[in-house]
Structure 1
């Protein structure tokens, strides 16, 4: 329980930092442009007819290009990652990127025959929420939203919500539970993530 408490505290600090850090170049147009590029690439992969593994590889590349993986990785590790060696954190970030690409890539594969359409953007404190809708064949459209910040020095998304469910919060809970089972051993967690998703 203590580790999860620290994870929650660190996560809250991370999100507060997003709110407190002034944005330099980011604006509605640039946030929307980023997500349009992201969504365009996702739509091309969905329509490609590639195998599942090939799609997951493409999603991992897209995540690396458009996602703030350093922030996502640190947020999911929380206090356990703060003093970890740089090489350990790099290996974890790479494994996490592949894990997220596979896990959420399976959701995106459900979109085959459909598409994602960017609808609007709104400022939320010091970051932007870009709202999109996923249109699937034979199903009702649903919300797919991206939180965009330039805190890392580049315009990147640091969270995604599918039907209002946050990727960052979901992974923080799940990674926290996995890390608890590994008694805080990030290298062991990294090895497991490579096989999951």
Structure 2
């Protein structure tokens, strides 16, 4: 079962291009790219090893979600992803509100994608390659689940935050960033554009 719902090829292509463009635009500037192809792959090798360990551990569901949140916090550029998903409102939000929103966003993502990674129980993710794409690196992997055809999982990695982190995930052509930006914007609208109310909603969502 894919982590995200399958969509038509044209939609997948649009999501992929939009998501990559959004993240490149929001990555912190002013630092030369020092990350290498090998380092990007090594980061995702460690991340995938952690995910495989969690899904094969047999731990209870809630404990699994906590582990996924730890992994997301450790390997993902959470502040950049959270700010990009929030959009223009991020520039109008106080530092304290932004911290609270980012923490709530982290838990929301961990629960949401943790539920989908639970479907990987009995399966495996295998890293297959790495390449530079403009100002970031893309690491490719294949998810092999019991009773299903293998499918493609791509991780986009940068060191612009000051550390090697992944900032986007593309599963079978469906872009996590583009998907979550749409979701967060819709939730923000539902909460009257109030980031504090959005934060409270995220704490219950996922």
Aligned to 1:130: 139
Query: The residue matched to 1:113 in structure 2 has which SS?
Result: coil
1:48 aligns with 2:93: no
Q: Answer 1 or 2: higher relative contact order, Cα 8 Å, separation at least 6.
A: 2
Match of 2:165 in 1: 156
Say how many residue pairs are matched. 188
Deviation at 1:16, TM superposition (A): 3.1
Q: Quick one: distance in 2 between partners of 1:133 and 1:86?
A: 38
Deviation of the 1:76 alpha carbon:
0.7
Indicate how the Cα distance of structure 1 residues 137 and 152 shifts in structure 2: closer, same or farther if over 3 A, else same. same
Asked if 2 retains the 8 angstrom alpha-carbon contact of 1:70 and 1:93, the reply is: yes
TM-score, scaled relative to structure 1? 0.90
Between the aligned partners of 2:96 and 2:72, the Cα distance in structure 1 is 20
Residues 113/23 of structure 1: CA separation in 2 closer, same or farther (3 Å cut): farther
Give the corresponding residue for 1:180.
189
Give CA deviations for 1:94-132 in whole Å, capped at 9, x if unaligned. Answer: 110110011111111000001100000111101000000
User: What is aligned with 1:145?
Assistant: 154
What 5-or-longer segments of structure 1 have no aligned partner? 1-8
> 1:19 touches 1:127 (CA, 8 Å); kept in 2?
no
- For the 8 Å contact 1:22–1:126, the answer to whether it is kept is no
Q: Which moved more, 1:78-87 or 1:149-158?
A: 78-87
Going from structure 1 to structure 2, the CA distance change for 1:174 and 1:136 (only over 3 Å counts) comes to same
Tell me the TM-score normalised to structure 2 length. Answer: 0.86
1:24 Cα offset (Å) = 3.2
Q: Distance in 1 between matches of 2:115 and 2:194?
A: 28
Give the alignment of 1:14-93 within 5 angstroms. 14-16=23-25, 18=27, 23-93=32-102
CA RMSD of superposed structures (Å): 1.9
DSSP-derived class of the 2:139 partner? strand
* Paired residues of 2:29 and 2:160 also in contact (CA < 8 A): no
